[in-house]
Structure 1
């Protein structure tokens, strides 16, 4: 052990910067597709005049299929045996399929009825999300197996989280592009061209992880496939029965360390999302007395500051994690974000509106740290699960984890409207909202994410995988396999020895 009590990352365990960059391109592609379809939905209302309620349904209904398709795709990926590996064929084909379907989806017929457009877009969206799942779920799983090292996993996730954030910087400009008079006759034409550009980007960039990255357990899976091919019950292997899928799903969601991560993520992320809209309302109606133009400008600057802070936080939290461990890094990052939420009460003030740019810097520690540390911790969970079940199930774990995030986001966005109504807010009153309404908006905006984040910290205190335990699990797995991982030729044998002071 070193003086800091940490294990050194062996040279063979390190993922090169080029490999991290390529994996990060997958994050950029993944986030860009997700951000695009959400940001472009406004075209259905502003460009085609579709009822906003129907647009809302189109935003939510297709995602309900994720409850089935995400875990199913994860299971399929985990149990695929091919010369190209378990993940890479789906990443490659999924990028191409999702790009083509996304492009076609936005070639909107303008001479059809609202009912036709609704069903056209609903069915097209469901097909798109199937292709999107084919890409995203194996890509997530691939990241969990790029390295077996406790700290290197966090570094990999830091790079992919950093690169994925660029999608959220680009997305706010989509509306400006689509409605630009310089380029297009109307928003519909703008949307069709934007979809084409995003589709081309997805094909050319999204396939790169499938081409340049290698799967750590690829050849091990092939060896198992050869052995099992001689067994009489080989027909039961793949495609697996529904019973095997259900059994694997239940085993995954019952694994306590994984549940702690899911619940903590749900609380931190969706506590933030639940009151995300309140920030804008508080800025407009409390700080600026109902001035929507000025309030929107400052809200925009707040978002920009938050994005910049998140970029910085990602690598800062990654460094802290290597010093104090993942759990403590989560406690620190989430704790700082709680302070940021609390500062809203004092910094959102009509007397000094510029102070509202301070809380986003601290709040960024919560979300920036969350999606850097948590995926790394899920990878550790996959190792412990393999020790207990003798199965590698990164696909199943990754799909359920991110489905929990998406489900929580949908519930949070829906519940946010009810919370706003509970404050007594009336848009017709403009800047003349009652004192009680302003007070409740401010309370919800501050207190709810503070409470959910505090509960998340308590939940992670129960999470059992420390650096030492993760190292012990790895040693037992390598002994159980009879060789050091990784398996593929691109990686050498390794001995994760301790650093002596």
Structure 2
């Protein structure tokens, strides 16, 4: 029987996809709160953990300094992704190529995330900056060692288009639940307890669901896949010679940068511009509205994806995101409409196009690895997901830096220009991603015949 006809049982799909609860809780908590935790707006009654930086002519205020550290940490760490992906492609063990990495590194993934919220100094100081940078690098490394090989299991356990669409749809639903924990529950945990309790709670979710997901594919992950015998330089070069990957990759990176900016922007909008008070609770409410829109949208997008293909849905949703986000400039400005209602509608509408872009990248990358196998004869899932993560991290690492620089234009109630410009800048990034993706032509089921019919070289 062809591998394309071997279906993955529903229970295994659900268990594997459930990892997204923990991983999205961790990721969205970091995106939403870390910059705010390190350098909150003046006058909100929270201590600033980061100092200002003075180096002769260079003066960085605490928020820009925090943004620089977060960006530098992400960029530096991103370069270990290809090494780990290449390493897992070449690993041979009785548990297969991916599972040993997940087992060993996941406990450290949870530990270092929790430690991010335990800065050693009560006041802003250089010790906090050094501590943050070191722990952040260790967290990123453990995350890559655990998450990269785990993601690379998808093309190995789900071989058909329908199975991949099913898995990524379930991953999306579980991811929404995880994002709700990270974007909604964390606001209440922060208000009722503090950032430390919030961090430990979210780290526990990350640990528990990663191991739950691994249990679901323990017997399904292949143990005998031939290792990819390429050196690191050749493997990286071969990955970047795949033109379909090059059409997809920058679109994904630009969208992630845009989404990261909007997520980190939300507490500043709520606290400074909206005037609604109860910053944590309102931030959680608006995040929940966006997630609700995604839940409502994804079922229809999944059906359209099965009918029209991944490429069509991803492209249209990228365009929708690029067109809509600039309208965030006007959030709260509409006269005669309560600010909370305006903000809730704004958040809901943002979630609709972003649902498709969030749902499909893993399945698209799985198709690209199938295309690569046709071209090279090698299964190199680890290297493709790792290269995707490398550039995604570089792109998303720019989010806090871009946000902190834009906020220099105005982040107060009397001058909120910087806060209002975040939406148009993020929309421009997403639209540029749509423009670049137009060259992508892979069919949703990748076989030699379908690829040749699409006019692509094998």
Q: TM-score, normalised by structure 2?
A: 0.79
- Are 2:158 and 1:174 aligned? no
Q: Deviations over 1:405-441 (max 9, x none)?
A: 22212223322333344xx5363xx34x4xxx86x97
Change (3 A) 1:284 1:470: farther
Equivalent position to 2:395, from 397, 402, 408: 408
Distance 1:278 1:198 in 2: 21
- Are 2:336 and 1:351 aligned? yes
Unpaired segments ≥5 residues, structure 2: 40-45, 52-61, 453-458
- Are 2:288 and 1:307 aligned? no
Q: CA deviation at 1:385?
A: 0.5
Q: Deviations over 1:83-134 (max 9, x none)?
A: 1011111112221232344456666656899444433343233223222211
Equivalent position to 1:464, from 420, 437, 441: 441
Q: TM-score, normalised by structure 1?
A: 0.73
Equivalent position to 1:31, from 24, 34, 37: 24
Tell whether the 8 Å contact from 1:88 to 1:211 is kept in structure 2 after alignment. no
Change (3 A) 1:122 1:273: closer
Q: CA deviation at 1:260?
A: 1.1
Tell whether the 8 Å contact from 1:161 to 1:372 is kept in structure 2 after alignment. yes
Unpaired segments ≥5 residues, structure 1: 1-8, 182-186, 229-236, 476-501
Q: CA deviation at 1:357?
A: 3.6
1:32-431 alignment, distance < 5 Å: 32-37=25-30, 39=33, 46=46, 49-51=49-51, 52-53=62-63, 55-103=66-114, 109=120, 114-172=125-183, 173-174=185-186, 176-177=188-189, 180=192, 187=194, 191=196, 193-214=197-218, 218-221=222-225, 224=226, 244-274=231-261, 291=275, 293=277, 301-338=285-322, 340-341=324-325, 348-353=333-338, 354-421=341-408, 424-425=409-410, 427=412, 430-431=413-414
Distance 1:295 1:107 in 2: 22
Change (3 A) 1:12 1:195: same
Q: CA deviation at 1:195?
A: 4.6
Change (3 A) 1:144 1:47: farther
Distance 2:380 2:73 in 1: 26
Q: Deviations over 1:382-422 (max 9, x none)?
A: 0011111111111111122123222212223322333344x
User: Is the radius of gyration larger for structure 1 or structure 2?
Assistant: 1
Change (3 A) 1:460 1:49: closer
Name the structure 2 match of 1:232. none
Distance 2:138 2:260 in 1: 27
User: How many residues matched?
Assistant: 430
Tell whether the 8 Å contact from 1:88 to 1:209 is kept in structure 2 after alignment. no
Tell whether the 8 Å contact from 1:58 to 1:122 is kept in structure 2 after alignment. yes
Tell whether the 8 Å contact from 2:161 to 2:445 is kept in structure 1 after alignment. no
Change (3 A) 1:130 1:362: same
